[in-house]
A and B are shown apart, each in its own frame.
Chain A
Amino acid sequence: MDSLLRVENLKMYYHTSKGAVRAIDDISFELEAGQTIGLVGESGCGKTSMGCSILRMPTPPGRYEGGRVLIEGRDILSLPEAEVRKDIRWEKIAMVFQGAMNCLTPVYTIGKQMLETLHEHREMDDKQALELMTEYLDFVGLPPEILNRYPHELSGGMKQRVVIATALFLKPRVVILDEPTTALDVIVQAQIINLLKKLRKTFNLSFIFITHDLALEAEIADTLCVMYAGKIAEIGPNSTIYGAKGPAHPYTEKLLQATPLLHKKVDNLSFIPGTPPDLIEPPKGCRFNPRCPKVFDRCYQEEPVLTEIEPGHKVACWRCSK
C-alpha cells in the first residue's frame, strides 16, 4: 500500500541575486490517511515553503531542484499546470494560509467568496451551491446568515472557520494548515483545535499542521517533524517526543526547554543563542553546529544523515547515530 502523501527528496531553492537560498533541501516524509504531521521550527526554517511546495505553487523566485511529491501514488511535480488545477489543488490537497482570515476580500460578502471557489471547480446551480455552503458552514459551527455578511462584521475566530470551511468544500484528502491559530486568543484557539479534531474524524482527513508552537503541536500532531535550516532535524511520534523518553536531537530538546510551561514555576527559561544560519551558504557540516551545546569535531566536517534510531523515529545528529 502506498501512503496517501509521500514527499521524496524534495528540494526547492529561491534563486535570488545573491545566490540560491536552499529553503527546502532534501526533505522526505510520508503521511497516511487520517494522520496529522506537525511541522515545527523557527521562522525562516522552511515550514511555509514546504506547505506551498506540496501544493505545487512555490513562491517566485522559488524553483524545484529535484525530488517528487506523490499523492495517492501520482507525482504532481511532473503534471501540467492545467491538470494540477483540475485534479489536485483543492480537490486532493487544500491549504489554509497563514493569516488566512485577513486574506478574505473586504469588498465581497462571505457567500460570494465561497461561491467563487465552488464555481471554479464544480458545475452546479445556485440552489445546490447554497445548500452545500450551508452544510459546510454547519460543520464548522457557523449559522447560514454568515453568507450575507462582510468579513469586517465577523470576529477572527469566525473568519478562520469560514476559511477552513472553504478549504474542505471539495473534499480534499490532505489539508495544509499554516499557523491557523496564531492571531487568535487562547480560548478561540482551543475551539479551533477541537473543531479540527472533529473534522479530521468525520472526513478521515490528513493534516499537515505548521506552527512554531511546540505546545500546540502536542495537542494535534501524531507525528512531529522538526525542521531546521531547510532540513529535517528530527521526525518522530508524539508519544516519544513529548513522552518520558523525550526528543533525541539537541535542537528539539532546546526548543522544548524554551517553551514556557504554565503549571511549572521556573526561574530561568533556557533559550537558543544565535540566529538560524544563512541558507545561501549554510555552515559546513551540521547546520546547527554554531548554536549546538553538544557539538564535537565531526559536526564541523560531515553533514549528519537522517537515521532511524528506533521504528518511526529518525534523527539527523552525529551524537545519536553510533
Chain B
Amino acid sequence: MSEILSDDVLLRVEGLKKYFQPHLTLAQSIGKTKKRLIKAVDGVTFDIRKGEIFGLIGESGSGKTTTGKLVMKLIDPTEGKMIFDGEDVTSLEKQQTKLYRRKVQMIFQDPYASMNPRFKIRDVLAEPLIIHNIRSSRDEREAMIVKALEEVKMTPPQEFMARYPHMLSGGQRQRVSTARTLILNPKMLVADEPVSMIDLSTRAEILHMMKEVQRDLGLTYLYITHDLSTARYFTDRIAVMYLGRIVEMGKADDIIDNPLHPYTKALIDAVPEPMTGKVDIVKELPISGEIPSPANIPEGCRFHTRCPYAKPECSELPEPELMDVGGGHLHACRRYKEI
C-alpha cells in the first residue's frame, strides 16, 4: 500500500479490524469449547477528505460506534492501519495519543451525561485546556472560552459561562459540547449520534450550527448515525455498514436516490415519510429478522441470511469486496445488476 497520500485526504483507514474477546465462564475457559471472537469491525477501508462531512450509517450492532472509537483512539485496532494527515497513527505512545486527540475531538450522543453537573459551563470548557496544558494564564483561557462560545452562537458568552449544565436546554448543551471540542482547534470532529436525543424542533438548528462551524473553520466531520434522513441533509458522503463491514459507499445523493446494495435499499424503504394515505397499508419489507450476532458472522456474503435476492452462490463464494461503479460509488453486492 502506498504511504503517500494525495493532499486532500485527512484520514485514511485501511482494513481496520477490531475483535473483542467474549466473556467466558470458568467451565468454558477450562473446557475445549472453541472461542468465538466478536468481530465488531471486520475490515473497514475508507478515506475522509479535508473539509468533508463523512457519514457512517448502520443499525445497532453494525460496528459504526466501534469504528468511531477506533478513529478516536479510545480503543486499539486488532489489525489494520490509520493514517491521519500523512502520519501513521495506528499505534502511538501515550504522549503522542494525547497530541492526536487534540486534533481529533469527539461530540457525544447524550448531552446530559457528557457534562459534569457540578461544573459551571466555564469549567466545562476550561477542562480540555487544563488537560492539554494550554495557556496557563486565566485571562487567556477566558478569552478562548468566550471565542469558542461565540463560534457556536451562545451569546452573550459571559452569561452562559456562569451557568450550570442543568440550566440549559438539550440543544444548548449540545452547543456547549461542540464549543468544548472547538476550543482545542481540532482538524476533525467525530460526532456519534449528536442529535438523536434532541427534540425535532431544535435538531435542525443544531445540525445547521454544526454545518456553519464546519464551513467557517474548515473542519472535517465523521458523523455516525442510524438516521438516513438527517444524513442526507448533513453529509457529503455516506458509508453504509453491516455487521462490521462497509457494504456501500458514495455521495449521499447517489446512495439515497440510487442505492445498489439490497441492504441499503431495505434501510431506505423502512424510513417513514410524512405523507398521507399510508395508514391502512402494511408496508412491504424486503428484509425480515434482525441483524445476526457479530460473534457468528454468516459465511460468504454476510448479508445473505436476510437478503431477499440471495442465491446459493452468495453463501458459497468468498465475501464480495467493494466494487466501483464510477463516480466514487462503491458497493459490495455481486448481483447488483439483477436487482
Contact = CB atoms under 8 A, between A and B. Distances in A.
B208 A271 contact: yes
B208 A269 contact: yes
Interface in B208-231: 208, 226-230
B256 A263 contact: yes
B22 to A, nearest CB: 14
A15 interface: no
Nearest to A217: B274
B334 interface: no
Interface string A27-68: 000000000100000110000000000000000000000000
Contacts of A190: 269-270, 272, 283, 285
Nearest to A36: B279
A266 B230 CA distance: 11
A16 interface: no
Interface in A219-245: 219-222, 238-239, 241-243
B203 interface: yes
Nearest to B202: A271
Nearest to B269: A190
Interface residues of A, number: 52
A238 B279 contact: yes
B287 interface: yes
Interface in B286-339: 287-288, 290-291
Contacts of B233: 260, 265-266, 269
A9 interface: no
A190 B256 CA distance: 18
B253 A265 contact: yes
Nearest to A240: B276
Given A212-B199, A212-B200, A262-B268, A156 B60 contact: yes
B169 interface: yes
Nearest to B209: A271
A218 B279 CA distance: 7
A271 B201 CA distance: 5
Contact of B278 (A187, A212, A214, A219): A219
Contact of A187 (B266, B275, B282): B266
B205 interface: yes
A109 interface: no
A189 B274 contact: no
B277 interface: yes
A261 B272 contact: no
Contact of A191 (B271, B285, B291): B285
Given A186-B267, A262-B229, A263-B273, A194 B201 contact: no
B200 A214 contact: yes
Contact of B200 (A186, A189, A193, A255): A255
Contacts of B256: 262-263
Contact of A222 (B170, B171, B279): B279
B9 interface: no
B232 interface: yes
Contacts of B202: 271-272, 275
A293 B269 CA distance: 34
Contacts of B230: 260
A42 B274 contact: no
Interface string A80-100: 000000000000000000000
Contacts of B269: 190
A186 B270 contact: yes
B85 interface: no
A282 interface: no
Contacts of A271: 201-205, 208
B118 to A, nearest CB: 22
B273 A157 contact: no
A258 interface: yes
Contacts of A255: 200-201
Interface in B130-179: 169-171
A268 interface: yes
A217 B275 CA distance: 10
A185 interface: yes
A256 interface: yes
Given A190-B285, A260-B233, A275-B171, 5 more contacts: A36-B279, A43-B199, A218-B273, A265-B233, A275-B169
Interface of B: 59-60, 169-171, 199-205, 207-208, 226-230, 232-233, 253, 256-257, 266-280, 282-283, 285, 287-288, 290-291
8 closest residue pairs by CB, A with B: A269-B204, A242-B276, A260-B229, A271-B205, A271-B204, A190-B270, A185-B59, A272-B201
